Amino acid sequence: MKRLNRLFVVGAGFSAPAHLPLGDGLLREVIAAARTLDGGKWYDNIIIADIKRFQRYLDVTEAAGAARELTLEGLISFLDIEHHLRLSGSDTWTESGNRTQMVVKNLVAYVLQARIRQMTEADWSLYDDFVSRLMPGDTILTFNYDTLLERACQRQGVRYRLVRTVYERLGSSIVKTPDKDVRILKLHGSIDWFDYRPVREFRENLELEAGISREIEHAVFSSISQHYQREITFGTNNTGRLTEIFAVKDLDAYLNGARHWVTEAPLIVSPSASKIAYLEPLRGLWWGLGQGGVHRQCTVIGFSLPKHDQYLTQAMWAVLRGYQDQETWEGWSASPLRYVDRAADTALLRESYRFVDWSLAEAWLDGFSRDSLEFMFKPPADE
């Protein structure tokens, strides 16, 4: 029997055993870091002004007596809409975001990277065990910003790539390479990714409009810094938007130069209800997810669908229904869809994933742990 590829969908619960802050915990740590780093200048000089403006907006748009809990997600959603629609006109700070948006992305990277540096060998052992069970052709769709998967693969010598397909030159032709790698598709970006396109376009516009052709100081892409490593396409013959996304080789060196936090930021989709407005650089990673593909097994790990992110519900409907509806192949059918989550029962999962055929699904409710590995990597009954 031919072993076919497996699909994993990874959410915040996957990072919980590494003690990385999740959800509201991440937002609290971002604010705490803003208040303490560099004497609190990021909070006092930048973020607090936008918080007060957002509070004024809530005061005049929310009903009297309505609960007005200030959350970072609400603030960033407010700022995302303002920036995406260019409501501030010429005061728009950069193409990638206004000042608070840029600082928050850097703070998210700072907080997550600090937690990863604190991980012990015991913490890493679970992730080492997970990646060591992966096989070439397996695909991981992750919504997490952190670098746990990549670092675990590096620790265990597991080949991986960050795009769905890799092309290479064979004589005069460009051909797809065989599946020798695990695919890690980071659908919301990564704390160590940076987008070159805004830098390139700024340089081109400067030369076109002012006739100036010179090196531009940049924390990642200038010849002076040289922090970038390579395209996430690994320098192959891929084309399109993804070839302008680079992973830095030394994230700590970048984060330590905090003076540039208002002009450059990692390519992550901010914690906001308006995420879809900023997905354009990453759309190539989403391409074709709804077309399914031949997968022998599919497991969802620690990903509870946020109700305010309709695009995620639609994307997961396309992916999971595509898995459950795929036709049999040479006499076999897909294994039951598996969920690994932490919950008292499946009621919340069933409510979030109403579109799933639960007669063809099974759940592990004690969260992502070493015990859960046997459940998720259990081979199909007909193997």
The 10s digit of each residue's pLDDT in 146-176 is 999 999 999 999 999 999 877 665 555 555 6
3-state SS, residue 36: helix
Q: Identify the domain boundary among 230, 265, 300.
A: 265
Do 295 and 376 lie in one domain? The reply is yes
Q: For residue 331, what are the domain limits?
A: 1-19+122-190+269-383
Do 111 and 156 lie in one domain? The reply is no
Q: Is the dihedral of CA 361, 362, 366, 372 positive or negative?
A: negative
Task: Give the CATH number of the domain where residue 349 resides.
Answer: 3.40.50
pLDDT at 1: 40
Q: Identify the domain boundary among 265, 280, 315.
A: 265
Supply the DSSP symbol for 244.
G
Do 158 and 303 lie in one domain? The reply is yes
Do 287 and 363 lie in one domain? The reply is yes
Share of the chain above pLDDT 70, in %: 86
Q: Which of 119, 177, 179 is nearest to 146 (CA)?
A: 119
Q: Which residues of the chain have pLDDT under 50?
A: 1-2
pLDDT at 328: 59
Q: Identify the domain boundary among 89, 118, 147.
A: 118
Give the count of domains, the chain: 3
Do 310 and 260 lie in one domain? The reply is no
Do 184 and 221 lie in one domain? The reply is no
Do 93 and 137 lie in one domain? The reply is no
Buried-state track 78-100, b at ≥16 Cβ within 10 A, e below 16:
bbbebbeeeeeeeeeebebbbbb
Do 379 and 276 lie in one domain? The reply is yes
Do 303 and 357 lie in one domain? The reply is yes
Do 113 and 28 lie in one domain? The reply is yes
Do 2 and 138 lie in one domain? The reply is yes
Do 91 and 230 lie in one domain? The reply is no
